[in-house]
Amino acid sequence: MSRLGPEAESGKRLLRRELLTVRAGLTADDVRKSGTSLAARAMELPELAHARTVAAYVSVGSEPGTRALLDALHARGVRVLLPALLADNDLDWGEYTGEASLVPVRHGGRMTLLEPGGGRLGPDAVLGADAVLLPGLAVDARGMRLGRGGGSYDRVLARLDRAGADPALVVLLYDTEVVDRVPEEPHDRPVRAAVTPSGVRRFPGGPAAA
């Protein structure tokens, strides 16, 4: 249950609405070009350079594109885990082995997502990741991430906490989505870095950039 007061809840909803409105104005070419730049920046991260397993995701709609990054990681020999949405909004995981390994899955009347078409590895597969790439709408100067409010990645982060796992948490965003402050809840964890098409932003507590 959220412990945020009414003002903070309202602020979170307003910020989400503003950011989603900006994203809705992007063209397919904007998203594609941003995804190419994002992949180049992300592949320079030491956390990814040394990772054997990375939990990532397939971007949808006007989210910063991840397909180029998934292919770059796979080509480097990294084991890439992708989420499969469960009925309770938790995430199972499967392995990405190239574009042909993705299948469209419709989730009720909500959305169609590209998910790994191979065998499922279970929700705990994320515990073996050296880095977890997180979707989001914004991040602030403390590294606190604003998600879309579905709760799926809150479950992932809680699972990591319970297991004592400490992968590098990295959020992928557009340049304008690094903001002064976002509302947070007591269970939220700061990310180590944010990658945008123009560069990498690190946060207090994270290692210095290589």
For residue 27, the domain's CATH number is 3.40.50.10420
pTM for the model stands at 0.90
- CA R_g for the chain: 16
Whether the predicted pLDDT of 60 surpasses 70:
yes
Closest by Cα among 188, 182, 180, 179 to 160: 188
From the annotation, which residues make up the binding site for substrate?
Answer: 58, 63
Q: Let me know if residue 149 belongs to a domain.
A: yes
Q: Let me know if residue 1 belongs to a domain.
A: no
Q: Let me know if residue 208 belongs to a domain.
A: no
Whether the predicted pLDDT of 184 surpasses 90:
no
From the annotation, which residues make up the binding site for ATP?
Answer: 12-16, 145-153
If one counts the domains in the chain, the total is 1
From the annotation, which residues make up the binding site?
Answer: 12-16, 58, 63, 145-153
Q: Let me know if residue 15 belongs to a domain.
A: yes
Confidence band of 1 (pLDDT split at 50, 70, 90): very low
Confidence band of 205 (pLDDT split at 50, 70, 90): low
- Write the pLDDT tens digit of every residue in 125-179: 999 999 999 999 999 999 999 988 888 999 999 999 999 999 999 999 999 999 9
Q: Let me know if residue 209 belongs to a domain.
A: no
Share of the chain above pLDDT 70, in %: 91
Give the domain extent around 175. Answer: 6-202
Q: Let me know if residue 136 belongs to a domain.
A: yes
Contacts of 34 (CB under 8 A, 6+ apart): 26, 64, 65, 174, 197
- Write the pLDDT tens digit of every residue in 93-131: 999 999 999 999 988 767 889 999 989 999 999 999 999
Whether the predicted pLDDT of 2 surpasses 50:
no
Strand partners, 167: none
What is the C-alpha to C-alpha distance for residues 113 and 134, in angstroms, rounded to an integer?
Answer: 16
Q: Let me know if residue 193 belongs to a domain.
A: yes
3-state class (DSSP) for residue 117: coil
Q: Let me know if residue 210 belongs to a domain.
A: no
DSSP for 65-88? P-HHHHHHHHHTT-EEEEEEE-TT
